Structures are given as C-alpha cells and as structure tokens.
Structure 1
Amino acid sequence: MIKPVPHVGAMGAYALADLGGVETISLAQNESAFPASPAAIAAGQAAMSDLPLYPDPEWPDLRAAIAETHGLEPDLILCGAGSMELIGCLIRAYAGPGDRVLGTDYGYAFVSSAAAQVQADYVKAHEVDLTVSVDDILATVAPETRIVFVCNPGNPTGTLIPNAEIIRLREALPDDVMLVVDQAYAEFSDAGYDPAEIFALVSRGDTVVMRTLSKAYGLAGARVGWGYFPAEIAGEVRKLLNPNNVSIPSQAAAAAAVRDQAHMKDVVAKTAIIRDRFAEECRAIGLQVPQSHTNFVLLRFASTEQAQAADQALRSENLLMRGMGGYGLSDCLRATICAEEIMDRARDILKGVLT
C-alpha cells in the first residue's frame, strides 16, 4: 500500500459545510443573498470566448480595478483562487516545523489546516465575549510565533474590533512576527471604519491584508480573492501561487464587480437591513445574537440540545444553517442572510422550537 507522508496521513480533511439534499435551501455558506453586479455578469460572459487561452498571470485589469478603488499600489496586490489560496501559500512560505501560527478562539478554521500542512503548530488566543482580544493575543505570543492571524470582522461570530485595536496589536507585536488581517467581510463595515488605516500597515513590511470577492460582491463561484502585501513578502508568496490561478472569465467579472461600487454598496445595505431585523427578532424569542458586521448572524441557544433541536426542525423544512461544534460552540448555529421570505421561514421555525 502506498502511504502519504506521516503528517498528511495524520491530518483530517478541511470540514466543509453540509449542503443537504437537492431540495435544501442553504443558510450555511455565507454566500450573497443578491446577484453579482450585472456589469460583472456581462463581463464574465463576454470573456468566455477567450477560454482557449491561459489566464494572464499578472491579473492586470483586476489589479488595476482594486488599486483604483482602494488607492493602493497595484504591484503589491496578489490575486488568488479565493483568499484560501493566498492564506495557504503565505503559511507555506513563512512557517514550518517548530513554528507557531497564532489565531483566535473563533478565527477562520482554514488557517489551522494550512498550518498543519507545513507541520507548524496552530495556537488559539482567547476571545472575550466572542470578540477578538488584542491583550489575549499579545499574551499568547511566544518566541516560536511566526504569524498572527486576525479575522476582522470575525467568522463565525460576526463581531468587530476597531481599527485602532488592530493598529495597537501591530505596534505591540515583535518586528519578526507577521500580522495577517483577514477582512473577508470588510465591505460590511468599511462605511464606519476607514479601510485605508489598515492598508497603510502594509508599508511597515510586516503586515498583510486579505480580502475576497465571494461575499459582498456575490462572486463566490468565481473564486477570486486578493491581498495587499509588502513587496518582499509578495515575492516569496508569488513563488507558490499557481501562475494561472484565476480564470479569464473570473478575472473579467471580478474587475467589473470591483468597479461597480454602487451595486456592491446597495447589496451591503439591503443585506444589513434583513440581517438586523432577523437578529432582533431572534433576540425577541430568547436567542443570544451578537451584533454582526457581516452577511450572517450567530445564534446562541440555551443549550447544545436546544441548538440540535433547532437544527433538526430547520432540516425538516429543507432549511440548513451551519452547526458550530467545530469551533467549540455546539450551542450555536450560524445563519447566512438570505432573501427576506427565507429568513421569515427560519424565524418561525426557531420560534416554534423555543416555545
């Protein structure tokens, strides 16, 4: 029998969401409740005629669109097949056996998998009230720590810490520790927190900022993420990226989507209205729901058993939320915001379980 290398054989596969059956409506994937920009769809369709060609490995138009929108240097932008590819390559470039990658209690779970792939130790700092704690991160840093990952806004909590706290963390970390700020849901909080403050940290040479087009831009199926990197770090990560990683239609759709800021902001605003109403209604029936700055809400039940009962009741009506047992939150379900009528159905089912 042919065996894998020991550390891969000992790993578990990355846990994806249970999508249920063909009749199931999923509230488990944090996908957009609304379609992508019509301009993005048209651009992606038009680019289909170029499918006999390989994608441009420099992503020129997409880089330009991102740089124009955010006031960034295009040469410091790397694009990936979702931010997962960029995160995996970054960890492979800067961590290995004996090193530590530091996250938080409820940070993005893929970081742990990526650390295991290179035999680095993944360590979690404590969160306070389901919210990242800079003091607890700093208290957990050790001489072996190479990278610190902060998901802000958080997933699966939806909570947010101010930019000032991210800046305080960066200033207090050792110079030889890289800070990665994962902002997959940042478009849902950009209006209240100046994104330029976080992008500016990249000029220090020790900080990376990650974003994605899967959420607010509605392009999860296109698999497009991007990051803003110091030049030296970008050069090392680039060695590990698939050189043709983002398809021609995906590049075209993503560039058009980024340029259509009006559509994206409209999606964010409409999502927030449905989210906040659903969250308030869930609080009214007895659930704990932290304020969310994303396109989902975390629902905390009185017990694990009650959460499981709610999960079964939803499934019986072909609705599926994401169980949070893998995060140590077995008394919670995470609900992606969908169309209003779907959220109303979910609320009524939950009310029936609780009453």
Structure 2
Amino acid sequence: MIRAVPHVAAMAPYALADLGRAGTVSLAQNESAFPPSPAALAVGRAVLDQMPLYPDPEWPDLRAAVAEVHGLDPAKVLCGAGSMELITCLIRAFAGPGDRVLGTDYSYAFAASAAAQVQAEYVKAQERDLTVSVDDILDAVTPETRIVFVCNPGNPTGTLIPNCELLRLRAGLPADVLLAVDQAYAEFADAENNPGEIFALAERGDTVVLRTLSKAFGLAGARAGWGFFPPDIAGEVRKLLNPNNISIPSQAMAATAMRDQAHMRNVVAKTAAIRDRFADGCRALGLDVPRCHTNFVLIRFASAEQARAADAALRVEKLLMRGMGGYGLQDCLRATICTRDVMDRALAVLKGVLG
C-alpha cells in the first residue's frame, strides 16, 4: 500500500463550505453579492484569444495597478492564486518542524492547515469579545515563534482593531518574528483604518500585508490575491510560488478591477447597507451580532441547539449559512451578505425559529 508521509496522513482535509443541494442559495463562502466591474469582465473576454500562451509570471499590469492605487513600489508586490497561495508559501518559507506559527482564537483557519503542511506547530492566542487582543498575542510569543498571523478585519468574526494596535503589536514583537497581516476584507474597513499605515510596516523588513480581489472586487473565481512584501521576504516566498499562477484573463480582470475603485466602493457601500440592515434585524430578534467590518456577519444564538435549529430551518428554505463549530463557536452561524431579498428571506426564517 502506498502511504503519504506521516505528517500529511495525520492532517485533516481543510474544511470547505457545504454548498448544499441544487437550488440552494449559499450564504457560506463570503462571495460578493454583486458582480465585478463591467470593465474588468470586458477585458477578461478580450484576452481569451491569448489562452494558448502561458501567463506572465511577473504580473506586470496587476502589480502596476496595485502600486497606482495604493502608492506602493510595484517591485515589492507579489501576486498569488488568491491570498491562500501567498499564505501557504509564506509559511513554507519561514516555518518548519519545531517552529510555531501563532494565530488567534478565531483567525482564518487556513493558516493552521498551511502550518501543518510543514510540520510547524500552530497555536492560538486568546481573543477578547471575539476581537484580536494584542496583549494576549504578545503574551503567547515564545522563542519558538517564527510567524504571527493576524486577520484584520477578522474572519469569521468580522471585528476590527485599529491600526494603532497593529503598530503596537509590531513594536512589541521580537525582531526575528515575522508579522503577517491578512487584510482580505480591508476594503470594507479602509475608511476607518488608513491602509498606508500598515503598508508602511513592510518597509521595516519584518512585516507582510496580504490582500485579495475575491471579496470587495467580486473576483473569487479569478483566484487573484496580492501582498506587499519586504524584498528579502519576497525573494524567499517567490521561490515557492507557481511561476504561472494567475491566468491571463484573471490578471487582466484583476488589474482592471483594481483601477475601477469607484465600482468597488459602490459595491462596498451597497453591501454594508444590506449587512447593517440585516444585523439590526437579527439584534431585534435578541441575537448577538458583533459590529462587523466585512461582507458577512457572525450570528450568535442562545445555544448550540438553537444554532442547529436555525441552520436546519434555513436549509428547508434552501438557504445555507456557514456553521462555526470548527472554530469552537458551536452557537454561531456566519452569514455572507447577499442581495437584500435573500437577506430578508433569511431574517424571516430566523424570526420563525425564535418565535
């Protein structure tokens, strides 16, 4: 019998969302409720005749678009097949057996899977009120800690800490500990947290900032993410990236979507309005919903049993939210924000469950 190496055989598969049966509306994947920029779709179609060619491994136009929008040096931008590829390669490059990757109670679970792939130990610092605690992260650092991984805004909580807390975290970490700030949902919070302050941390040489076009830009299917890296860190990570990782249409669409900031901001505003209306409706039913800074909300029920009842009732109506048992939040469901009519349907189901 052919066997995998022991540490891979011992791993559990990464838990993907249950997409339900045909006709089910998914509120489980944090996809955009609205389509991408029309200009991005048009340019994607326009380059389909280039499909016999390999994609450019330097992502020149996408890097240039990111640099133009954020005022960054394009040479320090790396692009990946979603930010997941960048997370994987970052951990592969800087952690291994005997090392620790430090996350938080509810930070993005994929980082734990990436750490397991290289036999690094993944540990969690405590969060307070479903929010990242810098003090608890600093208390959890040990001599074995190689990478600290922070999601801001958080997933699955949607909570946000101010930039000053991230700056305090970086100042308190040892110089040989790499800080990775996952900002997959940052476009929903940039109005509150000046992004330039966090990008500036990368200039120190010890911090990486990761973003994606899957959420606010509506390009989850294109698999395009990017990060701002110190040159020495980028050089090591680049060795591990697939050299043709983002397809020609995806690069073209991502660059055009990045430049169409007006469309992105409109999507963010519409999504936030539906999100806040839905969250207020949940709170009116007595549910606990933290203030959210993303395209989803975390709904906390009175008990795990009530959460399961809500999930079952939603499935009957072909609405599928994401259970949070994998995060230790058995009393919670996470709801991606969809169109207003879908969210109204979901709220009606919750109202029926709660009487």
- State the TM bucket, normalised to the shorter chain: over 0.9
Provide the residue aligned with 2:108 in structure 1: 108
Provide the residue aligned with 2:191 in structure 1: 191
Deviation at 1:192, TM superposition (A): 1.6
Number of residue pairs aligned between Structure 1 and Structure 2: 355
What is the alpha-carbon distance in structure 2 between the residues aligned to residue 196 and residue 47 of structure 1?
Answer: 33
Provide the residue aligned with 2:97 in structure 1: 97
Moved over 4 A (4+): none
Provide the residue aligned with 1:21 in structure 2: 21
Where in structure 1 are there 5+ consecutive unaligned residues?
none
What is the alpha-carbon distance in structure 2 between the residues aligned to residue 230 and residue 21 of structure 1?
Answer: 45
Using the size of structure 2 for normalisation, the TM-score is: 1.00
Q: Is 1:277 the equivalent of 2:277? A: yes
What is the alpha-carbon distance in structure 1 between the residues aligned to residue 202 and residue 295 of structure 2?
Answer: 26
Deviation at 1:191, TM superposition (A): 1.1
Please list the CA deviations of residues 42-80 of structure 1 after superposition, one character each: whole Å capped at 9, or x if unmatched.
Answer: 011111110000000000000000000000000000000
- Trace 1:145-164 onto structure 2 (pairs within 5 A): 145-164=145-164
2:346 corresponds to which letter in structure 1?
A
- Trace 1:53-72 onto structure 2 (pairs within 5 A): 53-72=53-72
SS, match of residue 123 in structure 1: strand
Q: Is 1:83 the equivalent of 2:83? A: yes
Where in structure 2 are there 5+ consecutive unaligned residues?
none
Deviation at 1:340, TM superposition (A): 0.2
Q: Is 1:3 the equivalent of 2:3? A: yes
What is the alpha-carbon distance in structure 2 between the residues aligned to residue 48 and residue 301 of structure 1?
Answer: 47
SS, match of residue 210 in structure 1: strand
Using the size of structure 1 for normalisation, the TM-score is: 1.00
Provide the residue aligned with 1:173 in structure 2: 173
Please list the CA deviations of residues 288-319 of structure 1 after superposition, one character each: whole Å capped at 9, or x if unmatched.
Answer: 00000000000000000000000000000000
What is the alpha-carbon distance in structure 1 between the residues aligned to residue 154 and residue 4 of structure 2?
Answer: 34
- Trace 1:143-292 onto structure 2 (pairs within 5 A): 143-292=143-292
Please list the CA deviations of residues 6-59 of structure 1 after superposition, one character each: whole Å capped at 9, or x if unmatched.
Answer: 000000100000000111000000000000000110011111110000000000
SS, match of residue 297 in structure 2: strand
Provide the residue aligned with 1:350 in structure 2: 350
What is the alpha-carbon distance in structure 1 between the residues aligned to residue 332 and residue 231 of structure 2?
Answer: 41
1:89 corresponds to which letter in structure 2?
C
What is the alpha-carbon distance in structure 1 between the residues aligned to residue 65 and residue 103 of structure 2?
Answer: 31
What is the alpha-carbon distance in structure 2 between the residues aligned to residue 316 and residue 147 of structure 1?
Answer: 43
Please list the CA deviations of residues 186-208 of structure 1 after superposition, one character each: whole Å capped at 9, or x if unmatched.
Answer: 00010121100000000100000
Identity of aligned residues (%): 76
Provide the residue aligned with 1:126 in structure 2: 126
Deviation at 1:251, TM superposition (A): 0.1
Please list the CA deviations of residues 266-309 of structure 1 after superposition, one character each: whole Å capped at 9, or x if unmatched.
Answer: 00000000000000010000100000000000000000000000
What is the alpha-carbon distance in structure 2 between the residues aligned to residue 271 and residue 39 of structure 1?
Answer: 20
Aligned CA RMSD, in angstroms, stands at: 0.3
Please list the CA deviations of residues 129-175 of structure 1 after superposition, one character each: whole Å capped at 9, or x if unmatched.
Answer: 00000000000000000000000000000000000000000000000
What is the alpha-carbon distance in structure 1 between the residues aligned to residue 215 and residue 23 of structure 2?
Answer: 23
Deviation at 1:240, TM superposition (A): 0.2
What is the alpha-carbon distance in structure 2 between the residues aligned to residue 332 and residue 69 of structure 1?
Answer: 36
Provide the residue aligned with 2:293 in structure 1: 293
Provide the residue aligned with 1:306 in structure 2: 306
1:126 corresponds to which letter in structure 2?
Q
What is the alpha-carbon distance in structure 2 between the residues aligned to residue 277 and residue 208 of structure 1?
Answer: 34
SS, match of residue 290 in structure 1: coil
What is the alpha-carbon distance in structure 1 between the residues aligned to residue 127 and residue 118 of structure 2?
Answer: 26
Please list the CA deviations of residues 221-241 of structure 1 after superposition, one character each: whole Å capped at 9, or x if unmatched.
Answer: 000000000000000000000
